[in-house]
Amino acid sequence: MSRYALAFVNINMLGPASSLCLLFKTWTALSARASMGTYISSQTVKKVIEINPYLLGTMAGGAADCQFWLRNLGMQCRLYELKNGHRITVKAASKLLANTLFGYKGMGLSMGTMIAGWDVGGPGLYYVDSDAQRTKGQIFSVGSGSLYAYGILDDGYNFDMEVEDAIELGQRSIYHATYRDAVSGGTVSVYHVTKDGWKKVRGADVGDLHYKYYPDADQHPTYGASPL
């Protein structure tokens, strides 16, 4: 059975971010809102960096930091491939990034990224941040909206769930995170990754998801709630 990563990501260009990854089957999903402090600067930020056809990096934290260092990682991975004659593993790619960031530890970088991919050993998922912490795992959550997404994910997560069910769970999790957290949201992009590589399969605006899940206002859990 193919297994991979699910990642929900929201970034702030000059502030804290929200990101979540969990390992199961074969896909990655990301939200697309960026902010500068309390200002929502973009609803369409591309938060996945295609490192190579089998490897993806997600962004959370400072957009410039994430984009620069993930693209730098892409160059390092290509050089590795040219030097060694084979594609880099997910484990080695995440280690390269952690080693690079270690040299800039304490210098003000803001990154919380997931390196997810497929190699000769199968799927891999690693969390790497600007303090050079590197952790392999099945579930990661970082940032302002991640706790809200956790509530939905923990309730609906099943490692062996079908891809369509996983997509639905991911979209619903992001939607609820955006409802509670002002700087999470935008669009939800879904990447499907297999042994043949990654492919973007879906993109949905969280506003459309709201009307999908709650077509009538009185269906929402907070409808009619007293402010006192």
Closest Cα partner for 20 from 209, 176, 163? 176
Decide if pLDDT at 66 tops 50.
yes
User: For residue 93, what pLDDT band results from cuts at 50, 70 and 90?
Assistant: very high
Would you say 12 and 3 are in contact if contact means Cβ atoms under 8 Å apart? no
The pTM assigned to this predicted structure is: 0.80
> Which of 29-43, 87-101, 194-208 is predicted most confidently?
87-101
Any idea which fold 5-219 has?
A: Glutamine Phosphoribosylpyrophosphate, subunit 1, domain 1 (3.60.20)
User: For residue 39, what pLDDT band results from cuts at 50, 70 and 90?
Assistant: very low
- List the domain boundaries for the chain: 5-219
User: How is residue 26 written in tokens?
Assistant: 């074969």
